[in-house]
Amino acid sequence: MQGRGMIGFQRRRSWWVAALFLTLVLSVVSTPQHRSYERVLAQARTLAPQIIVLDPGHGGIDTGAEGPGGVMEKDITLPVCQYLKEYFRLSGARVLLTRHDDRELSDDLVEDLRERVRLGNEARATVFLSIHGNSFPSPYEYGAQAFYYPNHPESPRLAHCIQDELVSMTTPLGENYREVQEADFHVLRNSKCPAALIEIGFLSNPEEEALLADPAYQKRLAWHIFAGTVAFLRGEGQEVPAP
């Protein structure tokens, strides 16, 4: 009797442990954040096949901006684009990167920019996204920001959809007060499709520099840019009147 009682007790304990583990797993899986991820991915999968061109800014001898801790712009734009690529691929999109490693597309800066645009235009991209890091003389500026050029009637709406997502992203730096701006960047001006350039943060801010070098933070940035692009492709966001 004593032996059978002990076996029964162990079985009941194992069941309770398993039940507790399942409860914990479900509580994690069912978080509002996870449900939001699933909702965006489900929405993305309902869209017609898209061609997304991602442009990791700089590369090779062109390092871009550099933070006080030595983090270089070229080294943060590529991983963010790689995370973005995986998100878009999960949605069934065809994704092209203007560079896949640490290299420039041309020794000549202007030709480098032309090559990036050419890749997007020849692919007949649905959307062109150029990812960059920002810098400013003051070390206190922070926050991600989307830019557009009126190369295409839908470019302003794309930038606003992405910025709406970026400002919703919580960070240790505080509220992101930045707004969408029009800017005459070569890759935006010469793209034939809706295009946006996203400055993902200020390398000149030591605290934000550390965040931008963190793979987990890079992945979060990529997710919000992806979610904003999905909202754009779904027709969300208001049309922005021409100035």
For the segment 32-78, what is each residue's pLDDT rounded down to a tens digit? 566 777 888 787 777 768 999 999 999 999 999 999 999 999 999 99
3-state secondary structure the chain: CHHHHHHHHHHHHHHHHHHHHHHHHHHHHCCHHHHHHHHHHHHHHCCCCCEEEEEECCECCECCCECCCCCEHHHHHHHHHHHHHHHHHHCCCEEEECCCCCCCCCCCHHHHHHHHHHHHHHCCCCEEEEEEEECCCCCCCCCCEEEECCCCCCHHHHHHHHHHHHHHCCCCCCCCCCCCEECCCHHHHCCCCCEEEEEEEECCCHHHHHHHCCHHHHHHHHHHHHHHHHHHHCCCCCCCCCC
Give the domain 34-233 fold.
Aminopeptidase (3.40.630)
Residue pLDDT, tens place only, 183-204: 999 999 999 999 999 999 999 9
Confidence of residue 31 (pLDDT cuts 50, 70, 90): low
| Per-residue pLDDT tens digits for 76-102 | 999 999 999 999 998 889 999 999 999
pTM: 0.84
Q: Which of 8-12, 171-175, 218-222 has the lowest mean pLDDT?
A: 8-12
Residue 21: predicted pLDDT: 42
